[in-house]
Amino acid sequence: MPDGGKAGKNQLRKTALARRDALPISQRIEKSLAMADAAGRISFDPGTVISGFLPIRSEPDLRPLMAALRDRGARLCLPVVLDRETIVFRDFVRGEGLVDTGFGTVGPGEGAEVLDPDIMLMPLAGFDAAGNRLGYGAGHYDRAIARLRVRSKSVRLIGTAFETQFVEAIPAEDHDVPLDELITETGLRSFSTRV
């Protein structure tokens, strides 16, 4: 296994993303639709704020999953990159226009309300059996989670990935926050008793 430093994580990230990128688009669509079937297994109360994301590159398409969560009473929001260090989560209202929000993403514009998610559906480069996550390396989600926790906001972290992104072991650093749960095309799984 590569070392636990930045170079080691970069190699793990590159390998996991190459496997995801290699999935034909038809398989990514099928797997994304299978992920939506897990929506019924995510427990939450109506009005719970859930952050999702719209797909870029070869990410899972969470739109069917988010629609199912909205139908069950979730209030949805999407991440918006404010600068190289900061993302916020803006209210994702059905029918409202979307704008370029940085890093190739689109989301609600400046007029949308900023929300603090109770549950985050998180994009991943990779995951391991212990619930360690490998992000894209910019640290946006780590900093967003830290900001929420400073304000005593508890947030449930649900990673979203395809099974092909599994990594045998991801070296965890002090700032890394493990996942509570994971959704792949095989369903929803929990990593701990925190949920």
Task: Could you list the residues known to form a binding site for substrate, using ranges.
Answer: 54, 59
Give the residue ranges of the annotated binding site: 9-13, 54, 59, 133-141
CB 115 within 8 A of CB 91: yes
Q: Where are the alpha helices (DSSP H) in the chain?
A: 6-21, 25-36, 63-71, 140-150
Give the residue ranges of the annotated binding site for ATP: 9-13, 133-141
Q: How far apart are CA 127 and CA 124, in angstroms?
A: 7
170 backbone φψ class: left, alpha, beta (φ>0; ψ -120 to 50)? beta
∠ CA 166-167-173, rounded to 5°? 125
